A and B are shown apart, each in its own frame.
Chain A
Amino acid sequence: MRKNPAENAETHARVSRRALLLGGAQLLFMGGLGMRMRHLQLNQADQFRLLAEENRINIRLIPPARGEIFDRHGVVLARNEPAYRVTLVPEDAGDVDAVIEKLAALIELDPGELDAAATEMRRSPPFLPVTVADRISWEELSRVAVNAPALPGITPEVGLSRFYPLRGDFAHVVGYVGPVSDYDLSKIENPDQLLRIPRFQIGKVGLEGKLEDSLRGKAGTKRVEVNAVGRVMRELDRREGQQGDAVQLTIDQGLQSYAQARLGEESATAIVMDCRSGDLLAVASAPTFDSNLFVQGISVADYRELTENDHRPLAAKSVQGTYPPGSTFKMITALAALEAGIAGPDQTVWCPGHLEVSNRRFHCWKRAGHGHVNLAQALRESCDVYFYELALEVGIDNISAMAAKFGIGERFDLPLSGVARGLNPSRDWKREARGADWVVGDTVNVSIGQGFVLTSPLQLAVMTARLATGLNVMPRLVKSVNGIDTPVAPSADMGIDPAYLDEVRRGMYAVSNHRRGTAYGSRIIEDKYRLAGKTGTSQVRNITAAERARGVTRNEDLPWNRRDHALFVNFAPYDAPEIAVAVVVEHGGGGSTAAAPIARDITLQALYGDAPPLEAYPAKDRQRIKKQQEEIRTLKPGRSVTRRDRA
């Protein structure tokens, strides 16, 4: 096609014009882009730079090591152990099933854990590690680590977990930690950020729970650079946390372990207290349980086994349990009467075996009666009628005031769970709590530690220590925190005439050392360690007249949970008291047969600091005691105590 030149020139000019127009428009647009860049990059630079920093810097917590717990001699009761686990990063693993199969060839994998891991993998982004094996041994971890090149995405990890080397022996004192729960968080006003870490271990009961704040320590922090999906790229800086406080107890581990072993499977408790300083040397409660069970969260089966046991292994009977003190309360009645000038060494009471008070017959344990008894004899043989008579004269107000002096009805400030107040009944209390007036029969009951009065074993130990020293000794459980001794409350004189105290102590001495004493069978014949004690047998039921008539009062004929509680309190040595002991055997029967032998054995163990020589025991018991000592020696401290292990 031919075109004339003029036309060509014209069209070319038009194309050029429009090309220039287009080029100009395009350059103009680019200028606009440049201006926009200027606005974004320069005018708003500070704002965007800040946003970029926030994007990439992430602050992570470093959990601190929990404070360790020691006994008075430095034996470790609770420490932190490396906990080994294996995690898997699905993204790095590629074929997850193949990797897990290879892993299963090396270590035993829990199917439940694998199921949980599979669920977690589906939910979380593929670069986040998922735990596939927890609580594995060092050997297993090593096996995984050695084979790591063949296991893509698998990482052997080390963390810290609480461990109680003595297992059950301190279960009720030290308590245990467990994974923090929503319930724990709901109780705390401003929860530490640490508690937001999944499965972070928090003190639940006992010292672990009560001293949580000082044991926990302070979290460290590290600043890490993360990418858009939260993967950590590198660590920028790190501030180490602070380990929790080291707590030293007043408890003597050897004695505590012995006491636990001696109590065995009885539903019982024993407390040993230094009666000069108030240091608690042993606070045993049986049966016990392995506190390590709770650390990672207890299984339903294990927990059910503990809760369904009628001997209540989870209860710290030593401080939580309250029992009618029975005859161990008679020292209080005696002192109240002595103070009031009613009783005296030469005054006697006629015990016909019962006493009629306001048309009700109160029995003495000895149906035939004790005849004429004075104070020493009444304590020695635990004559009930003697104390009925005293109580009628001295009145509840004096008895209650005396009981209060000895710590009954007082909640001692110890870092333990559920320290019981017990009950020191008074006229005011009854009016308020029961809406009824105090009657004389109530006083008669209280005089022999029955009726309303309730004491915890700890209170009995404190009472005995105060009887032994005449000082208002206070119990102490924590010896030092981070090496700084906790102060010992200075003990003041209780202001009771030493002559009266001596009178009562003589009676207690006779209980264990006089041929007719109720605990003569559980005496110590080593002269420098003679003990002075008092038996107690407290009813957990009322004996009806009909039952009495039928004569069904023998404990052995009753179901276990209706039998009497057996109690024994003592101090030793008699001449220069060092320790006070209280033993309660729930539904154990008589105090002289069930509780006194235990208290005697524990006393000897405490005084000798180790297994006592057989010479300290009465000759006819030695053979039996030898066997018993051997049996206990075979039980290593920290023996496992779950029922499954025993089977």
Chain B
Amino acid sequence: MSYLEYSVKHVPTGPRKILHLNWPLLLLVTAVASVGFLMLYSVAGGSFSPWAEPQMKRYAMGVVLLFIVAMVPIWFWRSVSGAVYLGALLLLILVEVIGSVGMGAQRWIDLGFMRLQPSELMKVALVMALAAYYDWLPPKKTSRPQYVLIPVLLILIPTALVLRQPDLGTAILLLAGGAIVMFAAGVHWGYFTAVFGMGMGLVFAVFQSRGTSWQLLKNYQYRRIDTFLDPASDPLGAGYHITQSKIALGSGGWTGRGFMQGTQSRLNFLPEKHTDFIFTTLAEEFGYIGAVSLLSLYALIILFCVASAISNRDRYASLLTIGIASAFFLFFAVNMSMVMGLAPVVGVPLPLVSYGGSAMLVLMLAFGLVQSAHVHRPR
């Protein structure tokens, strides 16, 4: 069913839209962000600067953004999906050209007031584009090879660009996120099985290529994989991140050491304590209970999104919601797996909690889209 077919008169208009927002979802997002403020306050040694305060300001900006996006009808967003995707793609190419070099990787464009990471934007743009594509595509053609190729290209082009930066974490998120939208849209199982098989082959190739002239990954990425497989081999060098992170998690116990009592993070044993490894601080200071609480909040966000997607009979809105929820899931699933030593350290922040401007704003934009889909759903 498409928007052209249902009566627009049932859709709330004007300020009344605010009442029809998915308020529980917004509350959950705020709760997760608040956990972030708390942890940023703690890792700064009980201070709002340098992290907690800017993060709160960005969140406030993000909420405004969310409301604006939510108030705009979802069919407008569908119609600009392709343009947004192209814009994000252009920006990605732009960072290749003028991007500043930070942390060894070209990832952002300096806008003056903030640094924009086009790869962050692309995560949302890709979901939008794929949702719009499958909304346009007659469902019968979904699994035809030529119509599968188009979204695959839509996914692979930005993924390749991001990989060039190089940002392995985001590339994985784009790839997996895109695949999930395709899966949700009903692409035949066979494709996924085939791709999975090929992926395995690629992993094999990656390992085989190591040390040869056609080496596929950078050396530091190989080292991260090595230390992921055996962190104990180099506890002070490459395995340091994972070892220290596990020590922090493990020393939390049931209830943790207490707010601002985490020795691992406060004494700088934890690397990137305010960004990628912020979850370890939470786990150290609030223990298992704190960690599971945050995990539950994330789970509830996913649940509310899935519920919203299922109840929404509009194909674009439904696919968009499930796509964003899945991208969000991938975000924290990869981050948590990473700090728990289940996945290599690829540099994916914990969504809404880790310190970072672009990520926060893009996430709020994405949730704005989810809200818009919810508000303007066919009734």
Contact = CB atoms under 8 A, between A and B. Distances in A.
A269 B333 CA distance: 86
Contacts of A48: 246-251
A299 interface: no
Interface stretch (B103-111, B198-206, B291-299): B291-299
B318 A19 contact: yes
B310 to A, nearest CB: 5
Interface residues of B, number: 54
Interface in B1-39: 1-2, 5
A14 interface: yes
A19 to B, nearest CB: 5
A22 B319 contact: no
A229 interface: yes
Interface string B137-165: 01110000000000000000000000000
A33 B288 CA distance: 12
Contacts of B186: 11, 14-15, 18
Nearest to B319: A15
A12 B313 contact: yes
Contact of A20 (B136, B283, B306): B306
Contact of A26 (B252, B287, B333): B333
Nearest to B240: A228
B185 interface: yes
A511 to B, nearest CB: 79
A10 B186 CA distance: 11
A40 B249 contact: yes
A552 interface: no
Interface string A254-274: 000000000000000000000
B254 to A, nearest CB: 6
Contacts of B306: 19-20, 22-23
A228 B336 contact: no
| Residue from the set A5, A10, A26, A225 with the largest chain B CB neighbour count within 10 Å | A26
A1 to B, nearest CB: 7
Interface stretch (B81-89, B122-130, B261-269, B364-372): B261-269
B222 interface: no
B253 interface: yes
Contact of B333 (A30, A38, A228): A30
B206 to A, nearest CB: 23
A225 B306 CA distance: 48
A137 interface: no
A456 to B, nearest CB: 58
B274 interface: no
A56 B246 CA distance: 15
A227 to B, nearest CB: 4
B268 A40 contact: no
Interface residues of A, number: 44
B288 A27 contact: no
B309 interface: yes
A37 interface: yes
A178 to B, nearest CB: 36
B310 A19 contact: yes
B247 A30 contact: no
Nearest to B267: A227
Nearest to A37: B291
B184 interface: yes
Nearest to B248: A52
Given A30-B295, A37-B292, A37-B340, A49 B251 contact: yes
A26 B253 contact: no
A298 interface: no
Given A12-B315, A45-B250, A47-B250, A228 B184 contact: no
B276 to A, nearest CB: 16
Nearest to A42: B288
B253 A22 contact: no
B183 interface: yes
A23 to B, nearest CB: 4
A620 interface: no
B342 interface: yes
Nearest to B180: A22
Given A15-B185, A15-B315, A26-B302, A52 B322 contact: no
B310 A20 contact: yes
Given A15-B186, A33-B295, A227-B268, A51 B251 contact: yes
Contacts of B183: 18, 22
A41 B283 contact: yes
B227 interface: no
B268 A45 contact: no
B326 interface: yes
Contacts of B247: 48, 51-52, 55
B295 A227 contact: no
B64 interface: no
Contacts of B299: 27, 30
Contacts of B319: 15
Interface string A195-227: 000000000000000000000000000000111
Contacts of B325: 23
A16 interface: yes
Contacts of B248: 48, 52
A27 B295 CA distance: 10
Given A3-B1, A12-B313, A37-B288, A56 B138 contact: no
Contacts of A190: none
Contacts of B48: none
A36 B291 CA distance: 11
Contacts of A10: 139
B101 interface: no
A55 B267 contact: yes
Contact of A229 (B251, B268, B295): B268
B337 interface: yes
Given A3-B1, A18-B183, A37-B291, A45 B252 contact: yes
B303 interface: yes
Contacts of B336: 33
B250 A41 contact: yes
Interface in B297-325: 298-299, 302-303, 306, 309-310, 313, 315, 318-319, 322, 325
A48 B288 CA distance: 14
| Residue from the set A1, A22, A226 with the largest chain B CB neighbour count within 10 Å | A22
Contact of A15 (B249, B254, B318): B318
B329 interface: yes
Interface string A376-412: 0000000000000000000000000000000000000
Given A12-B1, A233-B267, A41 B138 contact: no
A30 B288 CA distance: 14
Interface string A428-466: 000000000000000000000000000000000000000
A559 to B, nearest CB: 67
Interface in B200-254: 244, 246-254
Interface in B314-364: 315, 318-319, 322, 325-326, 329, 333, 336-337, 340, 342
B185 A26 contact: no
Contacts of B184: 15, 18-19, 22
A14 B333 CA distance: 25
A8 interface: yes
A56 B244 CA distance: 12
A44 interface: yes
A155 B123 CA distance: 51
B254 A41 contact: yes
Contacts of A37: 249, 283, 288, 291-292, 295, 340
Contact of A56 (B2, B140, B267): B267
8 contacts: A16-B310, A30-B298, A34-B295, A36-B340, A41-B254, A41-B283, A227-B268, A228-B270
Across the A-B interface, the 9 shortest Cβ-Cβ residue pairs: A48-B250, A23-B306, A227-B267, A52-B251, A11-B139, A228-B269, A49-B251, A41-B288, A45-B253
Interface of A: 1, 3, 5, 7-8, 10-12, 14-16, 18-20, 22-23, 26-27, 29-30, 33-34, 36-38, 40-42, 44-45, 47-49, 51-53, 55-56, 225-229, 233
